[in-house]
Amino acid sequence: MTETRTLERGDDWAATLCLVPHGADREREGRVLAARLLGEDARARDLVLRGVHPDLIELVPPPGKERIGIDQVRDVIRRGQFSPVQGKRKVCLVSRAETLTTEAENALLKVLEEPTRDLVFLLLAVHPADVLPTILSRSRVVRLPSRSSRELLERLSRAGYGEEESRYLLAAARREEEVAPFVTRREAVLQLREKAGEEARSADAAALARMATGPQAIERYEAVLALVARLVEGETALCVIAARVLAQSSREEVLRFLEDLLYRSFELVLAALSPSYEALDPHVTALGRKVDQEHVLDLAAAIGKARQAVEAYTPAEAVLLSLFIRAGGMKRG
């Protein structure tokens, strides 16, 4: 996905949505990112990191409240009408975008549709679904790697991999152990991706389901993406057969499959809604242009519910069949 250095490019964006790992220190991460936009020098960056820069507006729930209300957003808009004190812009940092009320999000949307001069918004969230689709579509999207991901990227770079290969491997792998073999032995990752993608797109339903829960990270990634694509294209027989084969896996494997499916669906959300999104796989971009935006968001929510159902020991085949049928409704009419 887009690297954090893109914050320093494209000043015409009124908002940037940063997708952060679970458990991240949102306030610290947000201020570090804001410092990229406001830090004209070391002193300015220090002021941002301490939260006292005059051009930094931090939007958080008021004391005793859990949500950010519309009046707070309106106040930010009012303050944004004044010229910056030190730099060339003001930055409104929303370190927990999911705490915006619906009314506050709608007020923010109006600003993004008609941006206030010299005011930019920096939103932090774990998933794209944490903000309105219309806000997502008007934002530049950046994914922040976790500390372990940054370390793996550095190791892959030292092993001779390019940026595209490294980012793809991290997206495909579930654990650090799956990346380690690529560090010790240089592989033609993009060729492996294309080969696995061709196999997944031509495999029968049973073979595709087995690939989607297999031990090979690249094959698994491409199989899950191909599964979604073929369901969207109306391959209804795939629903029954794939659900049956996947249900024969262990409960843990089904849960891991649903997690992979959730991340692929979020990539489709970004490909469908955000013109700034840089897909890891060209087939993600192509599929994102085919799907209905509302349906793919509904699918992401349905995957989350499916995980809860499987965790509650609901029969996996019934859960998966229902989910796959819903995926088949994503194509534009």
- pLDDT tens-digit map of 25-80: 889 889 988 988 887 788 888 999 999 999 999 999 999 999 999 999 999 999 88
Last residue of a domain, one of 157, 187, 217: 187
Do 176 and 279 lie in a common domain?
A: no
Listed in order, strand segments (DSSP E) in 8-146 are 15-19, 56-58, 90-94, 119-125, 140-143
The residue assigned the tokens 């509650």 is: 312
Q: Are residues 152 and 236 in the same domain?
A: no
Distant-in-sequence, close-in-space partners of 292: CB < 8 Å, separation ≥ 6 = 330, 331, 332, 333
Claim to verify: residue 156 and residue 132 sit in the same structural domain = no
Domain containing 272 equals 200-327
pLDDT digits (tens, 9 = 90+) for 286-333: 777 777 767 776 777 788 788 889 988 999 999 999 988 887 766 644
Please report, for residues 6, 35, 44, 62, 70, the alpha-carbon distance to residue 87 in angstroms, rounded to integers and kept in the order given. 19, 11, 9, 27, 27
Q: Please tell me whether the overall predicted TM-score, pTM, comes out greater than 0.85 for this model.
A: no
Compare 218 and 276 and report the one with higher pLDDT.
218
Asked whether residue 156 falls in the same domain as residue 230, the answer is no
Domain boundary, last residue among 143, 162, 178 = 143
Do 316 and 243 share a structural domain?
yes
Number of structural domains in the chain:
3
% residues pLDDT > 90 (the chain) = 35
Residues 91 and 331: their CA atoms lie apart, in Å, by: 38
User: At 313, which CATH number?
Assistant: 1.20.272.10
Same domain, 260 and 297: yes
Lowest mean pLDDT among 5-9, 271-275, 281-285: 5-9
Average pLDDT over residues 168-192: 86
Distance (Å, whole) CA 40 – CA 87: 7
In this structure, are 204 and 172 located in the same domain?
Answer: no
- Mean pLDDT comparison of 22-26, 98-102, 116-120, 270-274, highest-scoring range: 98-102
CATH code for the domain in which residue 124 is found: 3.40.50.300
194, part of any domain: no
